[in-house]
Every structure is written in C-alpha cells, then in structure tokens.
C-alpha cells in the first residue's frame, strides 16, 4: 500500500463508513448500511462493525484499540448521491496491446480478425515508445472503470511485456502479466523463432516480475501460449513442463469459434479434443485460465471441471466477432470457476461492468432456446465480476468481498439523486434538480430499494459512477496562502494505489471554491489548486516532493 503523508507522519489506519455492498456467494447480494470497516496499514480489513452514525466512528475504533486513524465517509464525499462501497472488479482476460483497436473489428470472425487487425498492431510493440504510450493508457482506463485486478496478454516482445508489468506496479493494479508465446500460424516477423526461444523469453519475463515484486502480492507472471493453433506440440509441451515445475499461472484460449475448433483437429490429430490438447501438454490445472469456452463438449466440460481449471467468460467479444454464446450455467453446474473478461480488442469495452450486463443479456438469449433456468441474475453477474474472478486468478481469500483478513480492494460507486426538495413523489418539474451529465447515466429517484439501485447501476452505469478506486486516504493539512487566508482541515481526498496516485478530488477544499485542473504526466499527475497552491507534482515511490511554489508549507513522501 502506498501512503501519502506529511514528511514525518507515519502511515495511518483508515476507517471507511457508509453503505457496503458485495456478493459473498452467487445467490446473495448483501447490503450493509451504517457500516464501519477498519483497514490497517497493511491494506487488510481489521474489523467490520455496525455503527449508528459517523460521530460514533471513534467509539467503534476504540473497541479495537485504534486511537489514530483517518476516516472516509461515503456520503460526505458526494452529497446528494446513493453512494456505496463495492469490491474492485476483476478482468480475467484482456489483451493490453490490442487496446488501440477497441471497437475495430469490421465484419470479421476470429481467424481473419487476427490477421487483419491484431497481428499488425501487436507487432508494432517492438517500439518501446509505443508500448509505453499504450500500456499507460490501458491501465489508467481499466482502473477508471473500477478494475483493480487484471490478467493481461502482452506481445512476444520481452522488453514491452516487462514494461507492462512495470506500469501495473506503478499504477497499483494487481496483475497477471504474460508474454505471448507462438511459433507458428502467425507472421514470420511476429513469432517465436523456436521452442527454445519461446522458453528463454518467457523465463526472462518471469524473472522480471520476480525482480519488481518478489512476493507476488501485486504482480505475477503468467505462462501464455496464445492458443493451440499458434504453438507447436514441442512448445506446448515445454510450456506445460515449465508450468508443472514452477506452478506459475497459465492463460490461453479455447473453443472460441467453430473454425478454430476444426483447425485444432487438423493440427492435433492425435488429441481427443481441444481441451485434451492442453491437458496432454500438462497445461490444464487449477492455476489455468481458459478464455471463452463457448463450444466445449460435455467431455471437455467434465475434464476442465476435473482439473479445477477456471474459465473467463467474454460475452462482448463473443458477440462482436460472432463466436457464439458461452453456456455459463452449464459451466457453473459442473463446478468450474467462472470470471468475466473484457477480451479487448475482440471486445470493444474495457469495463467489467459492461461484461456483467452483457453476461446477463447473453444468458437471456440462451434462455429463449433452453428455458429460464439458464438465466443469470444480478447477484450472479456481480459475483462473476468479483469473487468469480478472484477464484479464477488465484486471489480467493485475498480480494473480491469485504471480510476480515482480506485486502481492501474497493471502489466507491455514486448514483445521482434526482429527488426534488419536496420529496420523492415530486421528482420532476420546476422544483427538480438540474441534470448534471457528469453524474453518470444512472438516476435514482429515492423510492427504489437498494437492490433496485444496484440493478440500475449494473444495467446503466459506467465509469462516471466510479468515484474512487482501490485505497482511500484523507490528507489533513493547514497552509498559509500568499493572499493571507488560512485554511485548516481537509485539503483534498487523494485516491492512492500502490506506488501512484489515480485521482484527485478537491470538491471539499477549504476556502478554495473551485475544483482543480489536472492532467496526466510522465511521472505521475500534476495538479493546480487555483488561488492557493500552484502545482504539486507527485513523484514515484521513494521520492520526496514539495509544492512548486512556497505558498504551502507542505512536503510529502511515498512510503
């Protein structure tokens, strides 16, 4: 956890107060009001207590011998909203290098889409400047949608793959980062030269991940054979041996469309079926993520379930390139862990919330043929987006719900109220509040149950409803501006991830009156506070900074 503090200040514990919503099981959407969640300096949840109101927070904290802590109160951050804390979303399958092509797929299907759009773009990542530009944007965009963990495919390039791992660490996003392996069925200029080079370069990326995060608490490597047709038997076997020996995660694709399945039969005539190609190579285990699984046979479903292998359901991508509809209910009934994947750029959206709603819609299409039992509901879709993804990525017991001992990966969701001053029955007309499009596309009128509000968010929400990502800290400051005013108290709400700052909100700046301007920059984010502090630059971990003008007596450091 990164902590922003005054120079001599130690990292503080934090109590989050408000409404907490999560899905601890597929059938339970749990809503906890007036809840105080204590997060210790190691990011783990220390206590979860009922708390009648915000003024009682110190009493609750004292029960746990907490005498010094910061406080984040959801309703105070954005008055007039239906605010709630929700676990960070988990993207179990996405191609970071393909993000510039999001929304570009024409009328293609899988195999021609790869040759027309994907391979040319990925091949260009031999340029580290391009890789840096794209990967910074990818991770920033993913976090802005509330995704706190992701399984990334990079490219065949070692340096660019290592750069992606660096960016994820700098931004504080949990990540599996995989260098793509392929030694056939791809352009001559964009493939591994041999099985030996595929292993050597994969090991180089594994070593880099270990060097930047030895504990693997944030960044982990993942062995990544692109899919069976792009790898020779020798390469699949070598990667399988590496997986069995090191226990590193594996990610690949399976049974995305019918043409692909027929190609696998031609290339692997000795294999019983597609899933057996991976199993024969030692690549199927409880630490394997299979993307798509749209057209698995019953035997394949049984095999995947027996191995404990997880599946990433990518409903948007499967629709965009007309691959089919994954039978999620059958997979779940077979005991297969299922999470959601954006599969950018087969899918056009980097939002897991979009994937949740599209999973709901795809299940309804299947229900039109097979009956209502196959339909997913809101609770199940959100479970796939959080706890399901945690299981698939080996993060079960770490993140995905609010539970004592688990880490506090979370976001604050805000839904706009359009209730009039005269009550919920008069929420339109001349007395109603003006619509602010920046509040997001979800309107709450005041009479909805909390379950209905969550449903509105799932079906209609977007990144404008994500007000906070990951961890939250309030920086208490006092300063003497040059014009002579004194402002004590909350300068800003700073949203921090491990080693970097994601967002900055000065809506409650004392004696300031206007929100700050901000822009991304190479090392972090520059902020301008009109009338008080000109510019503060937040530097990478281990650096110490000061305000660029002497208007504020302030210094800080990342710990």
Per-residue pLDDT of the chain (559 residues; tens, 9 = 90+): 222 222 234 457 999 999 999 999 999 999 999 999 999 999 999 999 999 999 999 999 999 999 999 999 987 656 667 899 999 999 999 999 999 999 998 888 888 989 999 999 999 999 999 999 999 999 999 999 999 999 999 999 999 999 999 999 999 999 999 999 999 999 999 999 999 999 999 999 999 999 999 999 999 999 999 999 999 999 999 999 999 999 999 999 999 999 999 999 999 999 999 999 999 999 999 999 999 999 999 999 999 999 999 999 999 999 999 999 999 999 999 999 999 999 999 999 999 999 999 999 999 999 999 999 999 999 999 999 999 999 999 999 999 999 999 999 999 999 988 865 555 454 444 444 555 656 789 999 989 999 999 999 999 999 999 985 433 333 332 323 333 333 333 223 333 333 233 333 333 222 223 333 333 322 233 333 333 222 233 333 333 333 333 333 333 332 2
Cα 463 from Cα 465, distance rounded (Å): 5
In a domain, 33, yes or no: no
Q: Are residues 387 and 508 in the same domain?
A: no
Ordered DSSP codes for 244-310: HHH--EEEEEE--SHHHHHHHHHH-TTSSSHHHHHHHTT--STTEEEEE--S--HHHHHHHHHHT-E
d(CA 212, CA 218): 10
**Short-list 61, 31, 67, 68, CA closest to 46:** 61
C-alpha closest to that of 512 among 525, 500, 530, 539: 530
Which helix (H) or strand (E) covers residue 62, if one does?
Answer: helix 57-62
In which region does residue 535 sit, left (phi positive, over 0), alpha (psi from -120 to 50) or beta (all else)? Answer: beta
* C-alpha closest to that of 155 among 147, 145, 167, 163: 163
Q: How many Å apart are CA 114 and CA 364, to the nearest integer?
A: 29
The CATH number of residue 120's host domain is 3.20.20.140
Tell me if 18 sits within 8 A of 53, measured CB to CB.
no
Q: End of a domain among 361, 392, 423?
A: 392
Pair 113, 214 in one domain:
yes
Give the distance, in angstroms, between the CA of residue 540 and the centroid of all CA atoms in the same chain.
21
Q: What is the separation, in whole angstroms, between the first and last Cα of the chain?
A: 8
Q: Is residue 164 part of a domain?
A: yes
225 lies in which domain range? 89-351+381-392
Q: What angle do CA 467, 470, 475 make, to 5 degrees?
A: 75
187 plus 311 within the same structural domain: yes
Q: Which residues of 174-200 are buried (b: 16+ CB within 10 A; e: fewer)?
A: bbbbbbbbbbebbeeebbbeebeebbe
**344 plus 480 within the same structural domain:** no
DSSP string, 180-244: EE-SSSS-TTSS-SSHHHHHHHHHHHHHHHHHH-TT-SSEEEEEEE--GGGS-HHHHHHHHHHHH
- Structure tokens of 110? 């899988």
Q: Same domain for 385 and 501?
A: no
- Residue 419 within any structural domain of the chain: no
Shared-domain flag, residues 94 and 206: yes
Give domain status of residue 240, yes or no.
Answer: yes
114 and 216 both lie in a single domain = yes
Residue 258 token pair: 């019918």
Residues 165 and 291 in one domain: yes
d(CA 396, CA 406): 9
How many domains does one find in the chain?
A: 2
Q: Does residue 76 belong to any structural domain of this protein?
A: no
Q: Is residue 446 part of a domain?
A: no
Q: How many CB atoms lie within 10 A of CB 283?
A: 28
Domain identity same for 388 and 502: no
- This prediction has a pTM of 0.82
Please give the structure tokens belonging to residue 460. Answer: 């209609």
pLDDT of residue 427: 44
Distance, in Å, from the CA atom of 249 to the CA atom of 241, rounded to the nearest integer, reads 12
How large is the C-alpha radius of gyration of the chain?
24
Of the residues 359, 392, 425, the one at which a domain ends: 392
Residues 232 and 347 occupy one common structural domain: yes
Q: Which among 202, 175, 87, 196 is positioned nearest to 468, based on CA atoms?
A: 87
- Distances in Å between the Cα of 367 and the Cα atoms of 40, 82, 359, 360, 458 are 45, 33, 12, 11, 20
Q: In DSSP terms, which residues pair with 556 in a beta bridge?
A: 6, 545
The reply to whether 387 and 479 lie within a common domain is no
Backbone angles phi, psi at 27, to 5 degrees: -100, 5
Inside any domain, residue 147: yes
Q: Which of 392, 421, 451 is the last residue of a domain?
A: 392
364 in any annotated domain: no
């Amino acid at each position: 956890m990164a902590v922003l503090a005054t120079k001599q200040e130690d990292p503080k514990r934090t109590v989050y107060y408000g409404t907490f919503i999560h899905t601890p099981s597929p059938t339970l959407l749990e809503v906890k009001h007036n809840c105080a969640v204590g997060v210790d300096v190691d990011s783990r949840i220390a206590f979860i207590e009922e708390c009648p109101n915000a003024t009682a927070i110190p009493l609750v904290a004292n029960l746990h011998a907490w005498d010094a802590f910061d406080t984040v109160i959801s309703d105070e951050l954005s008055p007039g909203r239906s605010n709630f804390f929700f676990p960070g979303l988990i993207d179990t399958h996405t191609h970071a290098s393909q993000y510039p092509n999001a929304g570009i797929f024409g009328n293609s299907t899988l195999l021609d889409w790869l040759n027309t759009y994907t391979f040319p773009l990925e091949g260009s990542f031999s340029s580290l400047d391009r890789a840096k530009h794209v990967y910074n944007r990818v991770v920033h965009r993913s976090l802005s949608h509330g995704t706190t963990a992701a399984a990334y495919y990079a490219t065949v390039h070692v340096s660019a793959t290592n750069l992606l791992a660096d960016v994820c660490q700098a931004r504080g996003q949990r990540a599996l980062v995989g260098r793509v392996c392929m030694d056939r069925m791809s352009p001559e200029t964009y493939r591994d030269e041999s099985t030996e080079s595929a292993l050597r370069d994969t090991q180089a990326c594994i070593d880099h991940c270990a060097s930047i995060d030895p504990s693997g608490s944030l960044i982990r490597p993942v062995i990544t054979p692109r899919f069976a047709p792009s790898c020779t038997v020798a390469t699949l076997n070598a990667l399988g041996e590496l997986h069995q020996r090191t226990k590193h995660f594996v990610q690949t694709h399976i049974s995305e469309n019918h043409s692909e399945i027929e190609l696998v039969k031609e290339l692997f005539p000795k294999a019983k079926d597609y899933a057996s190609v991976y199993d024969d190579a030692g690549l199927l285990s409880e630490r394997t993520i299979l993307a798509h699984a749209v057209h698995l046979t019953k035997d394949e479903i049984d095999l995947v379930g027996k191995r404990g292998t997880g599946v990433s359901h990518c409903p948007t991508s499967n629709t965009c390139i007309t691959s089919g509809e994954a039978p999620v209910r059958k997979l779940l009934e077979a005991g297969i862990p299922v999470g959601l994947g954006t599969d950018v750029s087969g899918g056009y959206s980097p939002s897991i919330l979009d994937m949740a709603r599209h999973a709901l819609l795809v299940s309804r299409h299947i229900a039109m043929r097979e009956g209502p039992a196959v339909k997913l509901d809101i609770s199940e879709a959100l479970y796939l987006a959080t706890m399901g993804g945690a299981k698939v990525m080996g993060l079960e017991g770490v993140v995905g719900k609010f539970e004592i001992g688990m880490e506090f990966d979370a976001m604050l969701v805000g839904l706009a109220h359009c209730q009039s001053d005269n009550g919920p029955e008069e929420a339109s007309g001349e007395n109603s509040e003006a619509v602010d499009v920046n509040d997001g596309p979800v309107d709450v009128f005041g009479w909805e149950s909390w379950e209905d509000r969550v449903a509105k968010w799932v079906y209609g929400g977007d990144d404008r409803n994500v007000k906070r990502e990951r961890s939250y800290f309030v920086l208490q400051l006092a300063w003497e501006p040059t014009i002579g005013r004194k402002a004590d108290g909350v300068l800003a709400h700073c949203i921090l991830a491990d080693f970097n700052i994601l967002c900055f909100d000065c809506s409650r700046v004392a004696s300031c009156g206007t929100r700050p301007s901000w822009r991304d920059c190479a090392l972090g984010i520059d902020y301008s506070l009109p009338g008080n502090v000109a510019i503060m630059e937040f530097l990478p971990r281990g650096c110490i900074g000061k305000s660029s003008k002497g208007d504020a007596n302030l210094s800080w450091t990342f710990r």
